């Protein structure tokens, strides 16, 4: 139950990012950080929920912990639903571009007091998500007491994915594709900035892999990147294995017996100065330090490089 609730909230948080980009606006300074922080923290919690669900039968403290997490998830769900509703109402209140100028002026006079509603909505969202973050951080601290294990010990091995797809078997994803493609191809004049990461978030079976496969088939994407790479990460996350797969996708190689330092340098060299698009599919666990090391190598890519 808790796992399903957390997954729903993660989907909503992912939708906020896509929605904001589709409307060509930015979350207020600080709000975007709070959204990212909540997403990362809930992802960490989600990784141990199956073990927690099993242990609650014999451990009442774990059961109480799960109930607290459910309460937070319900509150988060309500807050994000409210944001989507108010954001929609705010957009519907915008004047029609075809309305005569006189009526537009009257409209703005009537709505002057609420003309900053979109800003107000985002500000309130930031405050509420900040409060949620504080509550979730408390949940994470308590998690350490229960020695919860990441992963899915009873699951069958996960299917290995690739960039190949049967286009005829897919439909209804056009808007999502165009939103992400636009973000992938957006201009960047900052040559020294880290390679941007575009996240596709959702529960298992949501269609994240299919969406990424469709994006790679877009003509704009095919023409827009010097190198396109696809790596299926899965579990358990192995930074050396993932890095070696990226190196191979880039058309290079590295000996099997070498350690991380050699792999790290080889990965940097394999993408050095190249405008690449890398899809890291089936990512289930989040390790900040390992991701930082992997990202450091990938940041050697050329201007316009992107990671999904």
Half-sphere exposure of 138 (CA within 13 A, CB side): 10
Kindly state whether residues 139 and 218 are assigned to the same domain: no
Residue 95 has phi, psi (to 5 degrees) of -70, 150
pLDDT grade for 194, boundaries at 50, 70 and 90: confident
- The confidence score (pLDDT) of residue 112 equals 40
pLDDT grade for 109, boundaries at 50, 70 and 90: very low
- The confidence score (pLDDT) of residue 95 equals 52
Kindly state whether residues 199 and 283 are assigned to the same domain: yes
Overall number of domains in the chain: 2
CB atoms inside a 10 Å sphere around CB 280: 21
**151 lies in some domain:** no
Please write the tens of the pLDDT for every residue from 38-69.
777 777 777 778 888 888 888 888 888 888 88
- The confidence score (pLDDT) of residue 277 equals 94
Kindly state whether residues 221 and 299 are assigned to the same domain: yes
CATH of the domain at 244: 3.40.50.300
Range of the domain at 82: 2-146
Kindly state whether residues 137 and 11 are assigned to the same domain: yes
pLDDT grade for 256, boundaries at 50, 70 and 90: confident
pLDDT grade for 36, boundaries at 50, 70 and 90: confident
- The confidence score (pLDDT) of residue 55 equals 83
Is residue 229 predicted with pLDDT exceeding 90? yes
**238 lies in some domain:** yes
Kindly state whether residues 98 and 175 are assigned to the same domain: no
- The confidence score (pLDDT) of residue 307 equals 93
User: What span, in angstroms and rounded, lies between the C-alpha atoms of 145 and 138?
Assistant: 12
* Phi-psi label, residue 257: left if phi above 0, alpha if psi -120 to 50, beta otherwise: alpha
């Amino acid at each position: 139950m808790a796992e399903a609730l957390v997954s729903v909230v993660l989907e909503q948080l992912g939708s906020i990012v896509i929605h904001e980009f589709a409307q060509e606006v930015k979350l207020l300074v600080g709000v975007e950080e709070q959204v990212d922080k909540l997403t990362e923290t809930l992802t960490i919690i989600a990784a141990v929920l199956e073990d927690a669900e099993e242990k609650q039968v014999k451990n009442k403290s774990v059961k109480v912990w799960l109930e607290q997490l459910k309460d937070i998830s319900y509150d988060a769900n309500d807050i994000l639903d409210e944001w989507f509703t108010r954001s929609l109402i705010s957009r519907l209140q915008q004047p029609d571009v075809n309305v005569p100028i006189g009526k537009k002026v009257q409209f703005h006079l009537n709505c002057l007091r609420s003309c900053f509603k979109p800003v107000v909505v985002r500000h309130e969202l930031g405050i509420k998500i900040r409060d949620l973050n504080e509550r979730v951080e408390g949940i994470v601290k308590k998690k350490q007491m229960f020695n919860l294990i990441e992963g899915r010990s009873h699951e069958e091995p996960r299917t290995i994915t690739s960039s190949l797809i049967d286009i005829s078997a897919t439909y209804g994803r056009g808007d999502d594709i165009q939103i992400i493609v636009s973000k992938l191809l957006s201009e960047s004049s900052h040559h020294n900035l880290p390679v941007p990461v575009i996240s596709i978030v959702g529960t298992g079976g949501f269609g994240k892999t299919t969406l990424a496969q469709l994006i790679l088939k877009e003509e704009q994407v095919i023409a827009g990147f010097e190198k396109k790479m696809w790596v299926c990460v899965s579990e358990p996350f192995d930074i050396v294995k993932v890095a070696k797969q990226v190196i191979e996708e880039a058309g290079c190689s590295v000996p099997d017996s070498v350690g991380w330092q050699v792999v790290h340098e080889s990965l940097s060299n394999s993408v050095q100065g190249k405008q690449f698009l890398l899809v890291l599919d089936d990512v289930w666990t989040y390790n900040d330090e390992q991701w930082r090391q992997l990202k450091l190598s990938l940041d050697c890519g050329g201007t316009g490089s992107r990671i999904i």
